[in-house]
Structure 1
Amino acid sequence: MSVLGLLLIGTPVTSLTQKAIAALILAYMVLAWAVFYGLSPFWTVVGTLSAAGFGLIAPSSWGLAGGISVLLWIGNRVWSDSLGGFAHRAMLAVSWTSIAIILESSGLLYPELSQASWTISGFLTGITGERELFGPMQIFFVGHCFVWFLWLTQGSLRLDQWRLLLVIVSSSLLAIATRQWLWLVWAVILVALLGDWNRGFRLPTSWKLGFAMVSAALLTITIYTVGRSVRSVGDRVGIVQGGLKTLDLPSPDRIEASQDAEFGALRMLLQVYGIRTQLIPEEFTSQDLRGCGVIIVINPTKEFSKGQQTLLERYVHEGGALLVLGDHTDIGGIMKPLNQLLRFTSMRFNFDSAIPTDSGWQWRGCLRGLLHPDFIGRNNQQLGISIGASLDCGMRSRVLVVGDHAWSDIGRPWFGTSRLGDMAYNKGEPFGGLVLVAEERFGSGVVQVWGDTSGFQDGSLTETHAQVVTVVRGLLNNRLPDGKFRWLVVHGVGMLAGVGFWLLAARPTAMLAGLLTLTIGYSVVQNRISKSVQASYTRGVAVLDASHAPSYPRSVPQKRITTLSETFLRRRLLLLRSEDFEATLEGQPEWWVIIAPTQRYSQQKVKRLLDYVNSGGCLLVVGGYDCFPALWELADAIGLKMLPEPYGAAHNSRIALPEWRASILAQIGSVSEQSDEAYDAEISFKESYSLFGENFVPLVTCWGSALIVQKRIGQGKVVWIGDSRFVLDENLGYQEHRNEKNIRFLLKILDESVEGNTRHP
């Protein structure tokens, strides 16, 4: 019944309908658990009614869990004949619940691939209208098979050994067929049950040893088939041209927003991380694919020819990796070419948009990365998923990212080029368990599919760069150097696990504790081996320092820094976010950017920043008086003072350097996008403050006070902007709008190198 315990963790308990459903589920849980453990009728009735009451009045899911735990403890304590019996049952309940929660949260159970769970839970969701319950309901119905297996082996039926062996074999076969490891763990547990818990018979030691070896072999096969032993066919990444995208970088001179999805920075990013890239023509031949270990296909708008399709299938079968990136609702006619490309797999794009339940399409708490070194434990700040298609996946595929709290918004074919749905949940639309990223092995190769391209686009790479490179590098280097060594390691682990269960089979409490330790240890190891990448933070890279809890950027569109990243790209600089202060600064990036930190920079870190600037680095600090306490040590070290009186939007701002002013204003094709004629400012601000200090050169002034200053220190320079919101999209422009004066001013700052020369793109 531990699978039902999953309903207590993370299930929202807000509306009356949800409380009623929670009460019924909890009452059913306690009733079934009471029958299973043999509680007396009195405690069964008390526990069931109390559980229903807790479901109605508990303010949170944790309150429900705590209340039920107390009831079970009292019931077991009163019913138990001895402390040993109670300890045995308590360990059994806690171990199973913990294991089930860990395995499910790690992605070892895929309810999103079970059509039965979709049908039943979708029907109940449609009746109640409570969308948040969809995901937990899926776990509930899929998990029932394990509950009934436990009933059969521990309950009144008392299966004989041959029928129980049939259950074990079927569980093992299901583990291999569906790639759901929970089935294999279940089979191993049943093997242990044969030795002690089922009092109807006992197996000799030789039988138990044999079962342990068989379990080890099955574990080995499953690990190996789920593993990624793909033979390398090249050391470069090829990006197929054409389709609904542009592979060009933003223009260094023409300040306007692009109308297409931009992926020009993707090549720059991979090269920064030491990965060689090449462009593959849309009408490619076998010669164009030669030397590529990974081929990336993004939003194709026309189907590949039969010959090209055959080439790609053969390429994957022989060990290549194919990364397919698509978008929602057949936008621009991409769905048919994408699904035609994937015809040799069981993965397809749905005609929908996967929409999270949180506001702003940020997927906060709505998705999770499953059991894969590149995805486990990842959140959407790293993945960068926005609005894309969900994926229809068969049993051969492996789910990598799933949307737990999201619905499938069916598209409308007549709704323009985008074909978007109505952005509202309608009865009958699938909810919860949406597959967002999946992969499938084919021959010696692998195909990985993303239903959304947002995380790979230029505007997202500042935040998602590490995850993007992790994915590409994982596909490029997803094999151990020696296949025989891999076999030895996998066999060794499988044999040790099998022998361990065999030795502990006669001690159920110790066996469960060992199984729990193994499961937790495996989960910890998976997180520890979660692949991390190191970039070469040198020339061509600007680092956004996120190590001191910056106030910005935020998820609200106006509070993002998409246009700032675009501005750096206009000078062929990648702006990459990093939380690792020491390691990143050690690489000597060309620019170090600090935006409105909330945590204080220590004197030691200030010294490191000054050493960086003295050795030729460029430091850009964006911070007003609101964040000055966190920057005080840095300001004091460079001799900067800031007055607390705000200048606000700085209506009379002027570019202070005559040559800069003439150059910037001469390039403006039209007046600034400020609609208010009374706003007489050459550079616009939001919350500006006055700056002054010895040897600082004013770059922008307002009513005689400097708002932006610059100072040479050693071989480098420091630029300080006295407005925490200056570089946000609300000030630089977002969507189709651009604040040309501000952008050209920032470009001027980036243009001038530390020696006084101009940095040409």
Structure 2
Amino acid sequence: MSSDSSLAETRYYTIKAWCLLAAATVAYGCVNGALGTFSFPSQRFLGFFATALLLVAAAGFGISLRVSLAAFVTAVIAALATTDLAIWSLCITLVLACLAYDARGQRLGELLGALAIGGVLIAFAALLLGHLPAAWRVYVDASVALSSWLAGISGAPHNLGPSAAGSGLMLVFTAICAGFLLRARRATDVLLVLVALLIGLVALVGFLSIVVLYWPLWVSGLLEWLDPQAAFQASRRDPAAVALHAPLALLVLLLLPVGLLPAVQLRPLPGRFLSPWPGALLGVVLAWLMTPFFPTAPAKETGVLFYNKGMLDWRVPRNGAFGLQQAGMFGLFPQYLQAAGYRTHRLSKMGRITPQSLAQNQVLVIINPTEMFSAQERQAVWSFVEAGGGLLVMGDHTDLAGMMAPLNTLLAPVDIAYRFDSAFSIRQWRTDYEIFPHPLTRRLDWSNELLRHSTGASLALGGGAFPLVSGKFAFSDYGVRENEANGYLGDYRYQTSELLGDVVIVAGATYGRGRVLVFGDTSAFQNIAIYNSAPFIVDAFDYLSTPASGSIAWPRSLPLLVLLLLVASYLVLARWRPLAVAATALAVVLTAAGLRWWTAAPLRFDHQRLALIEATQLNRFALAHWQRDSIGGLAVNLSRAGYLPLILRSGDWDYLQRARLLISIAPGKTYTAAQRQRLRDFMTGGGGYLVGVGWEERHAVAPFLRELDFTIGPAPLGPVPVRLKTEDPQLIGELRRRPQFHEAWPLAGETPFDEVLYEDLGYVIAAQRRIGAGKAVVIADSYFLMDRALEEENAWWPGNILFVQALLRDLAE
């Protein structure tokens, strides 16, 4: 009986240990973005969900959660403050180390301690890949080389970046195995861990050679067997969209050798206390080095010079030119820089870059050049940068208008080159970015639209160049020289010879005392996007206008490596005690989160007609391009009326003191009492408040509107006026010159409105009230201010544009 009981106990321990190991593997894989099936925001959530499951499982296995539960709450709060993958990994490690501390004296505690050691190694690897460009390039090149070698055996060309090749999952598995190696008790245990690691390597090779290389063929064959029509539909889809899910297969394969690790006999956790304070101190210093600091603002009247030759359009949105395609390209770009305190100047069409033209400026901007720069111009540019100037270079996809040769010749000194391709995200860019820690990326996260990237070229890096943003799950769509009529674009589909995964779209470099930024696409700087991306753009110019020896601290390789060695030495001397690991991890994550908050970006924009478009209240509109629920048409109309439109995000409410107008579209989150008071003060002081909301979306804003004596009624009026079916062009033209509401609802108030702006069949749909020196305007239609009703890419409604223009003029008075 005792033998049977011991065997049952061993089996039960093995099951418990495997569950904990599997949850930890999934958690680390997710927070490092290694599962292509899910977007980065989803993986971030799933990583902490897996950690929560790990806690639940630990509690079910009899482990106390006295310390680890508090660690989990702290880790979640700290992780939300940063996008640095090393910090995210340390947050998971903090929880595991505290769990090991709670389970001290138990066999599961020893296993959790080994897992925490692996977590430290994962965080170290993420830190090196995120902060040291050379390490990241080696990582990418090794993955591409391995997939190319295997493809050579199979005869089918493949170039897989680490994300598509499953390298992130393999790195997590290897680090966990290393943690067990460091705690293994006997030589046979060491051998068992090495066997598990070997099986994992075989799984990776098998995954690359069988699953990834032939994944689309397998899926297509299966679909054809199940449903020929479905197979036809799948063949029309991008094979990359199918291959995106392949890392899940590797995860399943790796969980098999993970099952060997519970059998490893581990050394007991040291019981003697060792002070955690050295680790905490080292953690604070390490977090300080990892944080990309930024100056509060550049010198006043910093000069920016725009090179004026190439594929450029300096028009601004103007009356009479409707449709977002007619809004111009870069005309608003200098205006936003001026509103942020910069002085801008544009070379003449015949002007050349000379030391004299650069003398009074701190930043040079080159966009889409189509002519080769002379040797004298290139010398002037690089002498300017070497002396501390900033260089911003932007280009576009597939050698459009012949810009690739001028760009690559110019950028040769910093080893950055535009590829003859288009970088395409498999899903959508905003959920597939990999954001590298840097002063420029301090505002970016995995859910906002500050970086308005569209179709542009990918970048090849060498030398000291470093990536700033990459498409973790994007591919390089090679151009086609024969497709001249369509800008040499490719087929918009992933071919196996094209690079899949970790495609660089924004890069940087230093040259002497100067800084260089290179964008593979110009979309973020264009008129129809800059109202949203302007804070990110100003960060770029703040970075460029500060010499490398100035107050911006970019983490340098040597100090980081020294700190990593010191932290590793401390943990080794502490014999990897859970308390030492937890103290070090806690110090890093809390310091990083605090510094992120402390280095919050200051308010920069100041304009006599600053118009804020609210995005703080879960407003129901899209920030992406070319969607019917987008607000590009509204932003263009604000620019036509002389306003400077800007998206209002959480943390930017102080901008209300500088604004002339606040626009709220179908908010889904109720204003706080403090926000309501600020809005009343804003209107009393002369500001305008414009709300577009229907009865169905009224719930969040209805209490505040009642305070202003606006009530939206429940009677659905539908399209107002009723649309007439006619083919008479004269009548159609007349109807289009009138306002047309999409989903109108009646407005009412306890007192008469100061002005009724639109009324139909006895129902008031838009009205205005004076609030002190300002005005409040309500349009009882959630869609009226969106592109579908106002102005799209190649379609518009003149009557709505005229109505909005008149309203904006009135609110400006």
- Kept after mapping to 2: 8 A contact 1:321/1:446: yes
- Of 136, 139, 157, 2:168 maps to 139
1:374 equivalent to 2:453? Answer no
- Taking a change above 3 Å as real, the CA distance of residues 386 and 682 of structure 1, as seen in their structure-2 partners, is same
Aligned residue number for residue 380 of structure 2: 311
Local SS of the residue matching 1:283: coil
CA deviations 1:572-627 (Å, max 9, x no partner) are 21111112377335423011111110112345533332221121111111111122
- Kept after mapping to 2: 8 A contact 1:326/1:388: yes
- Of 321, 331, 344, 1:264 maps to 331
- Of 442, 450, 465, 2:511 maps to 442
- Kept after mapping to 1: 8 A contact 2:615/2:647: yes
TM-score (norm 1): 0.70
Aligned residue number for residue 685 of structure 2: 615
Aligned pairs (5 A) from 1:122-201: 134-135=163-164, 137-139=166-168
- Taking a change above 3 Å as real, the CA distance of residues 350 and 588 of structure 1, as seen in their structure-2 partners, is same
Aligned pairs (5 A) from 1:109-128: 110=136, 114-121=140-147
- Kept after mapping to 1: 8 A contact 2:159/2:499: no
Local SS of the residue matching 1:747: helix
CA RMSD of aligned residues (A): 4.7
Aligned residue number for residue 710 of structure 1: 768
Local SS of the residue matching 2:757: strand
- Taking a change above 3 Å as real, the CA distance of residues 144 and 293 of structure 1, as seen in their structure-2 partners, is farther
- Taking a change above 3 Å as real, the CA distance of residues 235 and 528 of structure 1, as seen in their structure-2 partners, is same
Q: Structure 1: how far apart are the matches of 2:120 and 2:731? A: 60
CA deviations 1:124-179 (Å, max 9, x no partner) are 6997999898435243678899899999999979xxxxxxxxxxxxxxxxxxxxxx
Aligned residue number for residue 100 of structure 1: 122
- Of 683, 686, 690, 2:739 maps to 683
Aligned residue number for residue 398 of structure 1: 466
- Kept after mapping to 1: 8 A contact 2:742/2:784: yes
Aligned residue number for residue 210 of structure 2: none
Give the Å deviation of 1:300.
1.2
- Of 393, 398, 401, 1:324 maps to 393
Q: Structure 2: how far apart are the matches of 1:101 and 1:497? A: 11
Aligned residue number for residue 224 of structure 2: none
Aligned length: 616
- Kept after mapping to 2: 8 A contact 1:683/1:742: yes
- Kept after mapping to 2: 8 A contact 1:621/1:719: yes
- Taking a change above 3 Å as real, the CA distance of residues 233 and 539 of structure 1, as seen in their structure-2 partners, is closer
CA deviations 1:74-129 (Å, max 9, x no partner) are xx9xxx9x958875563233232254157528724525763221132356699799
Q: Structure 1: how far apart are the matches of 2:491 and 2:720? A: 42
Q: Structure 1: how far apart are the matches of 2:644 and 2:729? A: 27
Q: Structure 1: how far apart are the matches of 2:488 and 2:36? A: 35
- Kept after mapping to 1: 8 A contact 2:316/2:331: yes
- Kept after mapping to 1: 8 A contact 2:737/2:798: no
Give the Å deviation of 1:748.
1.3
Local SS of the residue matching 1:296: strand
- Kept after mapping to 1: 8 A contact 2:363/2:391: yes
Aligned residue number for residue 346 of structure 1: 415
- Taking a change above 3 Å as real, the CA distance of residues 136 and 523 of structure 1, as seen in their structure-2 partners, is farther
- Taking a change above 3 Å as real, the CA distance of residues 438 and 385 of structure 1, as seen in their structure-2 partners, is same
- Of 634, 637, 641, 1:564 maps to 634
- Taking a change above 3 Å as real, the CA distance of residues 675 and 405 of structure 1, as seen in their structure-2 partners, is farther
CA deviations 1:44-79 (Å, max 9, x no partner) are xxxxxxxxxxxxxxxxxxxxx9xxx9xx99xx9xxx
Give the Å deviation of 1:496.
7.7
Q: Which amino acid aligns with 1:304?
A: F
- Kept after mapping to 2: 8 A contact 1:648/1:687: yes
- Kept after mapping to 2: 8 A contact 1:270/1:277: yes
- Of 304, 326, 331, 1:237 maps to 304
Aligned residue number for residue 633 of structure 1: 703
- Taking a change above 3 Å as real, the CA distance of residues 296 and 524 of structure 1, as seen in their structure-2 partners, is same
- Taking a change above 3 Å as real, the CA distance of residues 280 and 143 of structure 1, as seen in their structure-2 partners, is farther
Give the Å deviation of 1:278.
2.1
- Of 415, 433, 456, 1:388 maps to 456
- Taking a change above 3 Å as real, the CA distance of residues 227 and 441 of structure 1, as seen in their structure-2 partners, is farther
Deviates more, 1:518-527 or 1:448-457: 518-527
Aligned pairs (5 A) from 1:8-27: 10-12=33-35
Query: Which runs of 5 or more structure 1 residues have no equivalent in the other structure?
Result: 16-64, 158-198, 200-211, 655-670, 756-761
- Kept after mapping to 1: 8 A contact 2:160/2:499: no
Deviates more, 1:446-455 or 1:702-711: 702-711
- Taking a change above 3 Å as real, the CA distance of residues 398 and 636 of structure 1, as seen in their structure-2 partners, is same
Q: Structure 2: how far apart are the matches of 1:457 and 1:488? A: 31
Q: Structure 1: how far apart are the matches of 2:780 and 2:728? A: 21
Give the Å deviation of 1:512.
4.4
1:90 equivalent to 2:119? Answer no
Deviates more, 1:731-740 or 1:231-240: 231-240
Q: Structure 1: how far apart are the matches of 2:549 and 2:737? A: 60
Deviates more, 1:233-242 or 1:723-732: 233-242
Q: Structure 1: how far apart are the matches of 2:728 and 2:687? A: 32
1:427 equivalent to 2:496? Answer yes
- Kept after mapping to 1: 8 A contact 2:661/2:688: yes
Aligned residue number for residue 19 of structure 1: none
- Taking a change above 3 Å as real, the CA distance of residues 458 and 8 of structure 1, as seen in their structure-2 partners, is closer
Local SS of the residue matching 1:408: strand
Aligned residue number for residue 206 of structure 1: none
Deviates more, 1:557-566 or 1:714-723: 714-723
- Kept after mapping to 1: 8 A contact 2:688/2:775: yes
- Taking a change above 3 Å as real, the CA distance of residues 451 and 273 of structure 1, as seen in their structure-2 partners, is same
Query: Which runs of 5 or more structure 2 residues have no equivalent in the other structure?
Result: 1-20, 39-88, 189-266, 268-277
Local SS of the residue matching 2:377: helix
- Taking a change above 3 Å as real, the CA distance of residues 232 and 116 of structure 1, as seen in their structure-2 partners, is farther
Give the Å deviation of 1:401.
0.8
Give the Å deviation of 1:526.
6.5
Local SS of the residue matching 1:459: coil
TM-score (norm 2): 0.66
Q: Structure 2: how far apart are the matches of 1:296 and 1:498? A: 40
CA deviations 1:208-246 (Å, max 9, x no partner) are xxxx9xxx9xx99x979x9999x9999322222232222
- Taking a change above 3 Å as real, the CA distance of residues 507 and 695 of structure 1, as seen in their structure-2 partners, is closer
1:732 equivalent to 2:790? Answer yes
- Taking a change above 3 Å as real, the CA distance of residues 503 and 713 of structure 1, as seen in their structure-2 partners, is closer
Give the Å deviation of 1:523.
4.8
CA deviations 1:441-471 (Å, max 9, x no partner) are 1111121111111111121122212111112
- Taking a change above 3 Å as real, the CA distance of residues 579 and 143 of structure 1, as seen in their structure-2 partners, is closer
Aligned pairs (5 A) from 1:192-231: none
**Higher relative contact order structure (alpha carbons within 8 Å, sequence separation ≥ 6):** 2
Q: Which amino acid aligns with 1:328?
A: H
Give the Å deviation of 1:308.
0.9
Q: Structure 1: how far apart are the matches of 2:633 and 2:175? A: 52
Q: Structure 1: how far apart are the matches of 2:809 and 2:309? A: 32
Deviates more, 1:282-291 or 1:501-510: 501-510
Give the Å deviation of 1:477.
2.9
- Kept after mapping to 1: 8 A contact 2:612/2:661: yes
- Taking a change above 3 Å as real, the CA distance of residues 378 and 228 of structure 1, as seen in their structure-2 partners, is same
Q: Structure 1: how far apart are the matches of 2:472 and 2:623? A: 23
- Taking a change above 3 Å as real, the CA distance of residues 8 and 276 of structure 1, as seen in their structure-2 partners, is closer
Q: Which amino acid aligns with 1:707?
A: I
